[in-house]
């Protein structure tokens, strides 16, 4: 069988040009042929493809209920239908008005309607997994240091390990730790609230930043926080309780402390970290990916807020708003709330959003009594994960986004984080799974598993759901698959010292696809 018949893409290889986090790459180069022990199955079962790609939450629901017994009663059928209704959008739709990728297509009651396995599917054996993964993990494209962990989501048992305890630079897969820490510390319904306040009788209005990078000045807030709505609410309050003379506008960013500039310096992948910004400090109309950023996002947000207040009829003094601090007795004039934390976490994971990641770890710090800074967030995240009894030995959380090369996370910690999110005892952590990009469908995996008209979907398309990680010389992939027997497995693969990012990504993708396509027993 030729490579194309197997589903492997064949394109020219390009040299590493120095990568920022999860930068768009050309199509991967032609990989080596799969090992002989790779058992390529026949066409994907409809239930498997749909359950994994369309409604991952359904598969997770199946795992949860299977832990209590097989799908053998009317109650189980009702639970399947309920799960389908709860997961109608595939868990990754965060607004599509500005060119964001569409969510994975949803399907009703996949497990019963499409013939998914009944009861608990068999788990792969350790020896069989080793037979198919060992040869791929030795591929030279994975650089000088490779680690791996594969875990059974139902039992939590580690089925495959290769230096899985080694703490390595995780790149953007550290966002999985950020997600779990934030959901643990804040709860899934938490919202970040930006306010406009003023002292009683005073003529100074203060725009108070609360650490919401998704606050938007664009016309459609997509159910999240809106600077326009805040301006309208503030203007209405001032009209109902007028003040003498013109008003001054200032802004308060005192919630955050420490350096605002990420250690990587000015960069199109992240704005200066500030408690106040609009549209992540973007200077274009993009909603994700690299973009030119404001050098002072707080001042830019306050300036735009002043313009909106004037448009609403509020009389403001001329000149640019200045930084200040809201008084202890300041009264709220208006507020606007972000989308729930569940949506923020999913958006962060799907699109590898660095600005949201840095905001969320600072929210964790505040909830943990630590300063909202890089150092405070690092302490808070580690404490939250340690409290969950996760294997944090050797881990270091120098930031929340994974842009910092000082971050250290092991493959075992990554799979443990995913297993905790799949644990029926922790439903609040579920967005750490549902937000993962779907291979060939969403986010940073949308273009990693190319569809070929001649051979159909590439191996792993719709079956792999994973967080990507890319820095120069670092490539990582961690997430979940539904294997050929219907078992939900969790995996983490890391590669350090890589020299050709396209080839490394291709091998990582094949590792994940191999787990998905293997009934390894």
Let me know if 352 is a catalytic residue.
Answer: yes
**E strands, 212-308, in order:** 248-252
Q: What is the pLDDT of residue 457?
A: 75
Is 9 one of the catalytic residues? no
pLDDT above 80 for 101:
no
- By the 8 A CB rule, do 511 and 136 touch? yes
Say whether 172 is catalytic: yes
Residue-level pLDDT at 459: 87
Q: Which of 164, 172, 226, 288 is catalytic?
A: 172
| Whether the predicted pLDDT of 339 surpasses 80 | yes
Domain residues of the chain, as ranges? Answer: 126-187+391-517, 193-339
10 Å CB burial of residue 488 (0-12, 13-18, 19+) is buried
Contacts of 46 (CB under 8 A, 6+ apart): 114, 115
Total residue length of the chain: 521
3-state SS class at 227 = helix
Q: Are 87 and 57 in contact (CB under 8 A)?
A: yes
Q: How far is CA 495 from CA 20, 137, 245, 300, 475, in A?
A: 16, 9, 63, 39, 5
> Diameter of the chain by CA atoms?
82
What average pLDDT does the segment 339-360 reach? 98
Q: Out of 352, 373, 410, 480, which one is annotated catalytic?
A: 352
pLDDT range class, residue 60, cuts 50, 70, 90? low
Output the pLDDT for position 518: 85
pLDDT at 61 over 80: no
Determine which one of 175, 383, 420, 467 is catalytic: 175
pLDDT in tens, 395-440: 999 999 999 999 999 999 999 999 999 999 999 999 999 999 999 9
Q: Give the range among 113-117, 385-389, 401-405 with minimum mean pLDDT.
A: 113-117
CATH entry, 126-187+391-517, from 3.40.710.10, 3.30.420.10, 3.40.50.1380, 1.10.287.1040: 3.40.710.10
Mean pLDDT of 354-367: 98
Mean of all residue pLDDT scores within the chain: 82
pTM here is 0.82
Predicted confidence at residue 252, as pLDDT, reads 98
CA separation for the pair 26, 231 (Å, rounded): 43
501-521 pLDDT, tens per residue? 999 999 999 999 999 998 788
DSSP state, 471?
E
pLDDT (tens digit, 9 = 90+) per residue, 186-203? Answer: 999 999 999 999 999 899
| pLDDT attached to residue 11 | 27
How many beta carbons lie within 10 A of that of residue 352, not counting itself?
28
């Amino acid at each position: 069988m030729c490579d194309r018949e197997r589903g492997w893409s064949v394109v020219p290889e390009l040299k590493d040009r120095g990568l920022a986090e999860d930068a768009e790459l050309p199509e991967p180069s032609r990989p080596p042929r799969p090992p002989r022990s790779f058992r390529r199955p026949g066409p994907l079962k409809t239930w498997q493809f749909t359950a994994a790609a369309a409604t991952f939450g359904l598969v997770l629901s199946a795992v949860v209920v299977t832990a209590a017994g097989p799908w053998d009663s009317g109650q189980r059928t009702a639970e399947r239908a309920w799960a389908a209704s709860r997961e109608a959008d595939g868990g990754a739709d965060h607004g599509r008005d500005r060119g964001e990728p569409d969510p994975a297509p949803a399907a009703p009651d996949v497990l019963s309607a499409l013939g998914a396995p009944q009861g608990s599917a068999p788990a792969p054996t350790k020896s069989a997994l080793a037979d198919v993964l060992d040869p791929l993990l030795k591929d030279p494209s994975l650089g000088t240091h490779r680690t791996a962990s594969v875990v059974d989501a139902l039992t939590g048992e580690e089925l495959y390990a290769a230096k899985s305890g080694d703490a390595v630079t995780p790149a953007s897969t550290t966002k999985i730790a950020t997600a779990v820490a934030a959901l643990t510390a804040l709860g899934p319904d938490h919202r970040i609230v930006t306010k406009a306040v003023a002292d009683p009788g005073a003529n100074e209005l203060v725009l108070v930043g609360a650490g919401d990078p998704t606050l938007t000045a664009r016309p459609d807030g997509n159910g999240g926080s809106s600077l326009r709505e805040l301006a309208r609410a503030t203007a209405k309050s001032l009209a109902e309780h007028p003040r003498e003379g013109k008003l001054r506008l200032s802004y308060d960013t005192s919630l955050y402390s420490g350096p605002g500039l990420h250690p990587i310096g000015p960069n199109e992948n992240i704005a200066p970290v500030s408690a106040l910004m609009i549209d992540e400090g973007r200077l274009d109309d993009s909603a994700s990916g690299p973009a030119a950023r404001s050098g002072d996002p707080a001042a830019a947000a306050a300036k735009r807020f002043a313009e909106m207040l004037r448009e609403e009829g509020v009389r403001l003094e001329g000149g640019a708003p200045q930084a200040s601090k809201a008084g202890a007795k300041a009264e709220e004039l208006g507020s606007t709330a972000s989308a729930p934390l569940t949506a923020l976490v999913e958006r962060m994971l799907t699109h590898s959003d660095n600005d949201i990641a840095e905001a969320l770890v600072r929210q964790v710090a505040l909830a943990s009594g630590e300063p909202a800074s890089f150092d405070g967030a690092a302490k808070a995240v580690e404490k939250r994960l340690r409290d969950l009894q996760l294997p944090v030995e050797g881990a270091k959380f120098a930031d929340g986004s994974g842009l910092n090369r000082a971050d250290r996370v092991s493959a075992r910690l990554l799979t443990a984080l995913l297993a905790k999110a799949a644990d029926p005892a922790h439903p609040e952590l579920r967005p750490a799974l549902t937000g993962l990009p779907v291979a060939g469908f969403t986010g940073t995996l949308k273009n990693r598993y190319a569809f070929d008209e001649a051979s159909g979907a590439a191996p792993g398309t719709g079956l792999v759901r994973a967080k990507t990680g890319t820095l120069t010389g670092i490539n990582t992939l961690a997430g979940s698959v539904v294997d050929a027997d219907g078992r939900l497995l969790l995996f983490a693969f890391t590669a350090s010292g890589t020299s050709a990012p396209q080839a490394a990504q291709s091998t990582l993708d094949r590792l994940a696809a191999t787990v998905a396509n293997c009934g390894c027993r």
